[in-house]
Amino acid sequence: MIKKLASLSCTLSALLALAVWLIIGCILSSRFGTPDIFSDINATVLLQWALMNGSSSPGILFWFACGFAAAALLFANLIACVCVRLLPQCKRRVDMQHYMLLTLHILFVFVLLGHLADVTIGFKNTDIALAEGESYTSPQGYTLHIDRILIGDNPKDFRFNRRDVRGRMSRDEFHPDRNQVFFHISGPTLPQMQGQIQMLSPFVAPDGLRITLTKFLVAKEPGDSMQADIVLSWNPFHSAAFSVTALMILCFFPLAFRLFCRGLSKEHTS
């Protein structure tokens, strides 16, 4: 049984199931599916949404359960492959390729665990729209006060819609470093401190609280002020999971290079 679980066919089956799951998810989250439900899911931690609102959307809940089942199969496949194949290979013969494969599999295990932690642990408060001088107190006891909103580009360029908000940040007329939000924050485990954020550059407090600027909200009426749309989130494993993912990607390149060189060597020998 464990040999079948460690087989390449099991790996491909799990990856295929995840690919189909993602395709279905793209359809469900599009305008042809249930985008409003997915907006609610993105506004909080998945586990919290499932406990509070999952019963009202059984189809979406079943879709998530299928995704977790496919991820669990891939996780079991990784563990079985490490125990049955890679560790014995490393013990029998010292080969850098085997050690690289073993390292990649172990790192991938931690990546999956990091994704699991990201959807089950911590909190996320979204759609916090604040102007200069305004404050927000989260249910967890954090108080955020906006001191200043610095705009260096044309405010008209901030009239993003849902589709091009990411694309606008890469255009020549928008410069993230010229448009910043200055604030101070305090909380149950965080003394009052000051900071600043810009798009694509969140602020991470010593206790792990992450403050992210998603977009600027342009004043609709002449007397209104520009607002900053902010997300407050906390997950103790977020930074570690991101670092492990980056390390896994870096480890892939020397393995690919070694396999490429070995392939050239075989062609030259033949």
Furthest-apart CA atoms within the chain: distance in Å: 78
Per-residue pLDDT averaged across 42-51, rounded? Answer: 90
Phi, psi of 88, rounded to the nearest 5 degrees: -60, -35
Distance, CA of 20 to CA of 13 (rounded, Å): 11
How many whole angstroms separate alpha carbon 211 and alpha carbon 126? 10
Is pLDDT at 161 greater than 90 in this prediction? no
Q: What is the DSSP letter of 156?
A: G
pLDDT of residue 131: 94
Band of residue 7 on the pLDDT scale cut at 50, 70, 90? very high
Rounded to the nearest 10 degrees, the angle between the axes of helix 96-120 and helix 58-81 is: 150
Q: Binning pLDDT at 50, 70 and 90, where does residue 264 land?
A: low
Q: Which residues pair with 212 in a beta bridge?
A: 231
Q: Are 5 and 76 in contact (CB under 8 A)?
A: yes
Is 132 within 8 Å of 146 (Cβ atoms)? yes
